[in-house]
Amino acid sequence: MVVGIHRKTYAKIDLNAIKHNIKVEKAQMTNEQNLFAVVKANAYGHGIVEVAKAAHEVGVDGYCVAIIDEALALRKAGLNELILVLGVNSFEYASLMAKNNISTAVGDIDFLKKAQVLLCEQKQRLSVHLALDTGMGRIGFRTQEALCEAVDFMKQHTSEFNFEGIFTHFSTADSGKKEAVNYYEQQINGFNELLSSIEELPKYVHVANSAASIWHKECGGNTIRFGITMYGLNPSGGELDIPTGFRPALSLLSEVVAIKKIKKGNSVGYGKTYTAKEDEWIATVPIGYADGWLRSMQGFKILIADNFCEIVGRVCMDQIMVRVPSKVLIGTTVTLIGRQEQKEIKAQDVADQAGTIHYEVICLISERVPRIY
């Protein structure tokens, strides 16, 4: 991957905001609760190693990632806390995970049976968090019978398995609508019912994502998987309020690389979708859909010289054109996400324009965009 270090388009990451957000979350947790920092997908686009190290500095009990390679990147960076891969993995990698002290989610007995053979051969022990599917319909055990079979199997093979955790994931913890709350409650009840079939609970019982930790404090478990709100964003988008104090960590910045006056009737961009209604100043900014700045951002207003200025014409792969009220200098700062003086563009504003959620907006900022800390 080629990173654009000689182009002044970058994501500015405020690691102090990340640390601050963890502290805010921890302040409202009990002493018995643990916090896992969710750093999957390059820490939601913020940079996995840098974010994990910042989290380490303020103290977290572990990290959650989505895939094994993300876990390996953390181990390579020298982080020694627990690392849980939230996705299910092929049994072929059981030995690799055990060797690197990586814990894995397990959602079916088949994995355990096949992994046991390999682990026994290698004289290795793998830490397992059993995933329970209580309504997400994604991964995990759905019945007491299937769950008990897995727990019993691990009990018979304690040399190969460390039963370290058990968890579920909510699909509607981020909404206050009646149906969503009912479904959340259904999931909690399902989880407790499944749990009641287990004699001895593992060390980590975890159900809460950011949303549940904020709006369903009673949800139970002893560990929070803290994701989007660690990055300062509201899990519900804008539907529910989050407590004040969380600060967004990411800004997306660029600068003007060209400025020209076009005449009334001149067009801008591919497909000639924009035609000037009068003589207008058009600035060019070096960011495009290859950077994760989607084509649906045409028409959105970004900040240049403290003005909200409209993106006109189609978003190109590497550049956008913006109508500015008057001539600006080459090199003028452009804020696509973040603050400029008193004005702010939130990741949520970008998501609203693109018809998506801010999770997607920040994850999609491509690797070509350097992260500056």
- Give least dist CB 265 to ligand PLP, A: 48
DSSP 14-71: -HHHHHHHHHHHHHTS-TT-EEEEE-HHHHHTT-HHHHHHHHHHH--SEEEESSHHHH
> Any known ligand binding at 317?
yes
Query: Is residue 40 annotated as a catalytic residue, yes or no?
Result: yes
- Give least dist CB 248 to ligand PLP, A: 14
**Distance from C-alpha of 265 to C-alpha of 185, rounded to nearest angstrom:** 58
**CA 181 from chain center: how many Å?**
23
Q: Is residue 129 close enough to count as binding ligand PLP by CB under 6 A? A: no
**Distance from C-alpha of 18 to C-alpha of 25, rounded to nearest angstrom:** 11
Number of residue whose CB is nearest ligand PLP:
227
| Separation of first and last alpha carbons in the chain | 20
Q: Is residue 209 close enough to count as binding ligand PLP by CB under 6 A? A: yes
Give strand pairing partners of 128: 104, 163
> Any known ligand binding at 230?
no
**CA 144 from chain center: how many Å?**
31
Query: Is residue 264 annotated as a catalytic residue, yes or no?
Result: no
Q: Is residue 38 close enough to count as binding ligand PLP by CB under 6 A? A: yes
CB neighbourhood size of 221 (10 A): 22
Identity of residue 302 = I
Identity of residue 46 = H
107 to each of 156, 247, 312, 339, how far by Cα in Å?
18, 35, 48, 43
Site size with ligand PLP, rule: CB under 6 A: 11
Q: Is residue 39 close enough to count as binding ligand PLP by CB under 6 A? A: no
Which segment (69-77, 225-233, 243-251, 318-326) binds ligand PLP by CB under 6 A?
225-233
Residue of the chain from 4, 227, 286, 292 that contacts ligand PLP (CB under 6 A) = 227
Q: Is residue 169 close enough to count as binding ligand PLP by CB under 6 A? A: yes
State both tokens at 44: 């939601």
- Give least dist CB 41 to ligand PLP, A: 8
47 or 227, CB closer to ligand PLP? Answer: 227
State both tokens at 219: 């949800």
At 347, which helix (H) or strand (E)?
helix 347-354
Query: Shortest CA distance to 15 belongs to which of 52, 62, 70, 40?
Result: 52
37 or 262, CB closer to ligand PLP? Answer: 37
165 or 227, CB closer to ligand PLP? Answer: 227
Q: Is residue 134 close enough to count as binding ligand PLP by CB under 6 A? A: no
DSSP state of 110: H
65 or 312, CB closer to ligand PLP? Answer: 65
102 or 328, CB closer to ligand PLP? Answer: 102
135 or 313, CB closer to ligand PLP? Answer: 135
Residue of the chain from 21, 34, 42, 210 that contacts ligand PLP (CB under 6 A) = 210
Q: Is residue 338 close enough to count as binding ligand PLP by CB under 6 A? A: no
Q: Which residues bind ligand PLP (CB under 6 A)?
A: 38, 40, 86, 169, 209-211, 225, 227-228, 235
List binding-site positions: 138, 317
Catalytic residues: 40, 270
